[in-house]
Structure 1
Amino acid sequence: MVAICVVEVSRRSFLRTITLGSAALTVDARSSTQSRFSGKPNLLVFLPDEVRADLIIGAAANSVHAPNLQRLASQSVVFERAYVTHPICSPSRSSLLSGTWPHQTGCTSNKGVLPLKVHCLPEMLTDSAYRTGYFGKWHLGDEFLAQHGFQEWVSIEDTFKSAHHGHKKGGQSDYTKFLLSEGYTPDLHSGKSFSLSFPSTLPFELSKPKFLEAKACEFLERHRGEPFILFVAFFEPHPPYNGPFNREHPLDAISLDATVDKNFGDEMPLRCRLRQEFYRRQYPIIADYRQIKQRYLGLITEIDRSIGGILAKVDDLGLPDRTITVLTSDHGDMMSAHGLLGKQLMFEQSATVPYLVRMPGASPRRCSQPVSHIDFVPTMLDLLGKPAHAQCAGQSRAALIHGETRSPDLVFLQWSPTKIDLAVKQSILASKQQIENCLAESSRAIVTPDGWKLCLRDRDKNELYNLRDDPDEETNLYYLNSHRDVIAELTKQIRQWQERVRDGVRV
């Protein structure tokens, strides 16, 4: 039977709980956990892009054809409430790899380049015995050269502008070179690179996941006798929602969120309403969302097959007993919730991700305590038997993985302006000036152990949800004047957190 780690906090004890949670953040909880291994453990991290949490670890997972992910979840500590630091690719990845907030790394948009002075996990090890590799989507600048402590590097992207940082335009990824060797002709940049949509039309054997699977298995073979750290960062199931398993899931079996056809009211932030209006124009009938989700689930099946292949290699090489295996993502996908697709918002479908940790000696169980990606690096250092690093803003959660109880903490999130939202400029909801203003907004959010979520914005309306009573976030309580004490306390907690991490944005 799988054990359950549950944090129960009554609504009446809310103020006391978050005060304790805040106090806990001031305690240096980064002390290293005694390594449970006889030798140096390996670390294998799967980082698919844009995976919605409930499709991997929620009730909906039963309808997704992903047997390898389901098997991994059954063998892992599953964090049911895992939040990213910033719900978009580059900022989130910068935190996951460095243990610092996006405003500290400077990666606050998808054009961000991770500075060399910001250390990533391999650079914090100070252990030359480890072989390290990063294979797949980087999206933090230069895609072509090994960097930040990763000794081996396999690239799959060359279409992002930031991918060519430090290089002349025209650089080619390892995956592009692979397709060229297979006789394919690039469709971008005068025949030098492939568009994001081109690989999605290829058979599975030529897909990005299969390419990464082969490279990862070769890495494992080479370093079977050495301790290693390997990140395998799949592009999928990120848009375009297209791939070789588009029809893997019967269309009539695809379920959509209950909020798919519900329109936002005037109490909601304009940016949310603009995005909903945009998707309503793009996909005017509910059946459109069902077809998109069918393809999205097919992409999950695609990465599942390659993850299964890599895990089979781990088994074949006799490595499971000394390998920590992690699966998480850089953000989720709305995938029909509130009639939206993609990420960029603080809704649960966008801001939460699957977070699985399979560790020898740790019993499989599910933990409902909220956790943040800001704690990923210090946690992995702890599990590897390494000391905490001064750069890290978070703390180790190794105790939770080992089944120990800890006082629940608050989770914080950020959002910074991005030009990606320019597609919503054609609107009847507001003037051009109002639209420009809201697209330039910054926001900061807090989530409490007992399910309160407050989102404060500098240029748009705020939001307050009680996730226990309203898990679909249908009712914005901020302007109902019935929760002034909750808003005041959570606002104070956001301000104090911003002061601790030197975040100067005033929301």
Structure 2
Amino acid sequence: MKNGSLLRGICFGLVLLINLPLTARGTEPKPKKKKPRNVIFILTDDHRYDYMGFTGKVPWLETPHMDRLAAEGAYLPNAFVTTSLCSPSRASILTGQFSHSHTIIDNQAPDPGNLTYFPENLEKAGYQTGFFGKWHMGDHGDDPQPGFTHWESFPGQGVYYNPTLNINGKRVSYKDSTYITDLLTEHAVDWLEKRDKKKPFFLYLSHKAVHAGFQPARRHKGKYKGKKISLPVTYDQTKTGKYRDLKWPQWVADQRISWHGVDYMYHDNRDIHEMVVDYCETLLGVDESIGTVMDYLKKEGLDESTLVIYMGDNGFSWGEHGLIDKRHFYEESVKVPLLVRCPELFEGGISPAQMVQNIDIGPTVLAEAGVKQPENMPGVSFIPILTGDTDAKVRKEIFYEYYWEYDFPMTPTVFGMRNDKYKYIRYHGIWDRNELYDLENDPDEMYNLIADPDKQELIKSMSTAIYDWLEETKGMNIPLKRTIKYRFGDYKHQNEY
């Protein structure tokens, strides 16, 4: 080759090298900043994990919009709360912390004033954030809270019909049989319609339903009249005395004839099947609410890219172990429905078995918003579980806590741990036996193995794990709060003493 040709070849090669992408030259390009994702979080009250049409638990229950979320998205059957009670669970969702960390340990404990709610991080990142519905956390008030650019709420538990809403500081009353589930949904969609289309949004739609006393929308009243559920296998055990052979705690048997027991439900003598019917009919309004929100997203062309999360704030017992309501660490009380949909992220129709908790909601939303997770949030995003990321962090166990309440003294203080096979329940401040269940072979938690000689090392290791968890998360001191009991069970916290 002549010198001129050789020189031209070298120059041509240099030109090609200069024009190659950075990756081809051995230097990685800077990762693109994650585009903020729109997120809708829908929360319900006291909705247990399997009371949805597609689960088949209640054959006559119809929830087409929840079914659609599961079919087009994901149903996580092993979703748990850290405390099965309204205010502590809601605080854990908003702060990403355990009850002993945020210290809202019951429905009366006030907000300590030093908490940061994860929507505050979204708002700082440029999100429009709207809250609609039940706050019921700390002081039971309805005043606008940090982290929300738009606010609509009501005090305490609220009412099913003719509510008064605090809308950005102004109270508006509604009449003419206005139904709370419909009203909140209508206002939430109206806010979405009027939002700034140039900014990402986070909608927190927090329903009163399906909290007792159950009141369905008028259009749903009577739909399931006369229907019955199959009573759980543990329904009669405390009544017959067989619980002694099964080694259940005495407090479980004693609670059967109480506010939270099947023989004196809410101090009433109603039939359990009638109450379940009211519960299921009330749930129909929530299902329609989901449908209305999803229809809006589809109309706007946002249904593929928006992350929609549906969840309950705690589970609910309907006769298991002779109990109703929540608070205890049995499966039906601590498990909650968790439906997630975002076709842009993952394919639908999946039901991953991995365990997740309510403290994972904040980290999940922040991750999809491209916002850094605060260090005081121990939870993790569950999106990698849905996308099939085999390297994702997976929970090996969950921990549980519930603190005895003066107004509901039937349930003792509970600390617990659950993994894929065993559940250990440890009681505090009560002279009674603890519990251990083999969930693989005994999913109904019927046979307490606490006295099994072959299980003592397991019990010791799980007990140690609970104490390790409490120590690592600064939970070794019960966070007592000042409360005063007034007549008729009315509590108010006292700060002036």
Q: Does 1:363 align with 2:347?
A: yes
Q: Which residue of 2 aligns with 1:337?
A: 320
Corresponding position: 1:156 with 2:154? yes
1:454 correspondence with 2:424: yes
Amino acid at match of 2:467: R
Indicate the residue corresponding to 2:224 in structure 1. 249
Moved more, 283-292 or 240-249: 283-292
Are the structure 2 counterparts of residues 471 and 97 from structure 1 closer, same or farther at C-alpha, using a change threshold of 3 Å?
A: same
465, 477, 481: which is aligned to 1:493? Answer: 465
Query: In the alignment, is residue 55 of structure 1 matched against residue 51 of structure 2?
Result: yes
Please point out which of 282, 294, 310 is paired with 1:311.
294
TM-score normalised to the size of structure 2?
0.79
Residue 458 of structure 1 aligns with an amino acid whose one-letter code is H
Deviation per CA, 1:344-365: give whole Å up to 9, x if none. Answer: 1111110000111112221121
How far residue 124 of structure 1 moved from its aligned partner, in angstroms, is 2.3
Shift of 1:378: 1.2
Work out whether residues 134 and 157 of structure 2, in 8 Å CA contact, stay in contact via their aligned partners in 1: no
Alignment check: 8 A CA contact 2:398 2:419 kept:
yes
* Corresponding residue for residue 106 of structure 1: 103
Q: Tell me what 2:481 maps to.
A: none
Equivalent position of 2:210 in the other structure: 237
* Structure 1 counterpart of 2:22: none
Q: Distance in 2 between matches of 1:486 and 1:59?
A: 34
Is residue 2:437 matched to residue 1:465? Answer: yes
Deviation by residue 1:90-117 (Cα, 9 ceiling, x = unmatched): 0111111110111111100101233342
State the alpha-carbon separation in 1 of the partners of residues 98 and 468 from structure 2.
15
Contact in 2 for aligned 1:53/1:332 (Cα 8 Å)? yes
Shift of 1:408: 4.0
Which residue of structure 1 lines up, in the alignment, with residue 361 of structure 2? 376
Report the 3-state secondary structure (helix = DSSP H, G, I; strand = E; otherwise coil) of the residue aligned with 2:291. Answer: helix
Match of 1:3 in 2: none
Q: Which residue of 2 aligns with 1:207?
A: 179
Q: Distance in 1 between matches of 2:419 and 2:130?
A: 36
Letter in 2 for 1:344: R
Q: TM-score, normalised by structure 1?
A: 0.77
2:311 and 2:337 in contact (8 A); partners too: yes
Where do 1:432-447 residues align within 5 Å?
441-447=412-418
Aligned to 1:11: none
| Alignment of 1:173 onto 2:171 | no
Tell me which residue corresponds to 2:386.
401
1:271 alignment partner, one of 251, 257, 271: 251
1:471 Cα offset (Å): 0.8
**Contact map agreement 1:156 1:208 (CA 8 A) in 2:** no
Letter in 2 for 1:480: D
Query: 1:157 Cα deviation (Å)?
Result: 3.3
* DSSP-derived class of the 2:317 partner: coil
Question: Aligned AA for 1:271?
Answer: W
Q: Please give the alpha-carbon distance, in whole angstroms, between the structure 2 residues aligned to 1:220 and 1:72.
A: 20
Q: Is the 8 Å Cα contact of residues 397 and 419 (structure 2) preserved in structure 1?
A: yes
Q: Please identify which structure carries the higher helix content.
A: 1
Residue in 1 that maps onto 2:142: 144
- The answer (yes or no) to whether the contact 2:75–2:338 under 8 Å persists in 1 is yes
Separation of aligned partners in 2, 1:128 and 1:387: 10
Mapped contact 1:465–1:473 kept (Cα < 8 A): yes
- Per the alignment, in what secondary structure is the counterpart of residue 351 of structure 2? strand
Shift of 1:250: 4.8
Match of 2:201 in 1: 228
Shift in CA distance, 287/142, structure 1 to aligned 2, threshold 3 Å:
closer
Aligned to 1:480: 452
Shift, 1:274, TM fit: 2.5
Q: Which residue does the alignment assign to 2:175? A: 182
Letter in 1 for 2:400: L
The whole-number CA distance in structure 1 between the counterparts of 2:141 and 2:305 is 30
2:457 match: secondary structure: helix
Per the alignment, residue 281 of structure 2 pairs with 298
In structure 2, C-alpha distance between the alignment counterparts of 1:285 and 1:138, rounded to whole Å: 28
Match of 1:97 in 2: 94
Alignment partner, residue 5 of structure 1: none
Partner of 2:190: 218
Distance 1:315 1:294 in 2: 32
Q: Is the 8 A contact 2:58 2:229 kept in 1?
A: no
2: CA distance between counterparts of 1:495 and 1:174? 42
Question: Is residue 442–residue 458 contact of structure 1 (8 Å, CA) maintained in 2?
Answer: yes
- The residue type equivalent to 1:76 in the other structure is G
Distance 1:247 1:236, change over 3 A: same
CA contact (8 A) 1:41 1:227 kept: yes
Checking the alignment, whether the CA contact within 8 Å between 1:79 and 1:355 is kept in structure 2 is yes
Which blocks of at least 5 consecutive residues in structure 1 are unaligned?
1-33, 161-170, 184-201, 425-438
Structure 1 stretch 285-294 or stretch 347-356: which is displaced more? 285-294
Unmatched 5+ stretches in structure 2: 1-30, 479-497
By how many angstroms is 1:276 displaced?
Answer: 1.6
**In structure 1, C-alpha distance between the alignment counterparts of 2:301 and 2:285, rounded to whole Å:** 25
Q: Distance in 1 between matches of 2:142 and 2:466?
A: 38
1:391-444 deviation per Cα after TM superposition (whole angstroms, max 9, x unaligned): 21222323112221344421111111112314x5xxxxxxxxxxxxxx5x4221
Structure 2 CA distance, aligned partners of 1:458 and 1:253?
37
Amino acid at match of 1:40: P
1:125 equivalent in alignment to 2:98: no
Give the CA deviation at 1:125. Answer: 3.0
Give the CA deviation at 1:156.
3.2
8 Å CA contact retained: 2:234, 2:322: yes
Query: Does 1 or 2 have the higher relative contact order (CA < 8 Å, sep 6+)?
Result: 1
In the alignment, what sits opposite 1:348? 331
Please say if residues 47 and 336 of structure 2, whose CA atoms lie closer than 8 Å, have aligned partners that are also in contact.
Answer: yes
Q: Equivalent residue of 1:60, what SS?
A: coil
Matched positions, count: 423
- Are positions 1:390 and 2:375 aligned together? yes
Larger displacement relative to structure 2 (230-239 or 332-341)? 332-341
Residues 1:159 and 1:331: Cα distance change in structure 2 (over 3 Å)? closer
1:36–1:361 contact (8 Å) kept in structure 2 = no
SS where residue 312 of structure 2 aligns?
Answer: coil
Kept in 1, the 8 Å contact 2:39–2:202? The answer is yes
The corresponding residue for 2:311 is 328
Aligned 8 A contact 1:124 1:389 in 2: no
- Offset at 1:36? 10
**One-letter amino acid matched to 2:55:** G
Q: Secondary structure at the match of 2:75?
A: strand
Pair 1:415 & 2:406 matched: no
Q: What is the RMSD computed on CA atoms of the aligned residues?
A: 2.7
- Give the stretch that moved more between structures: 367-376 or 288-297: 367-376
Q: Which residue of 2 aligns with 1:260?
A: 235
What residue number does 2:83 align with?
86
In structure 2, what residue type is equivalent to 1:398?
I
Residue 282 of structure 1 corresponds to 264
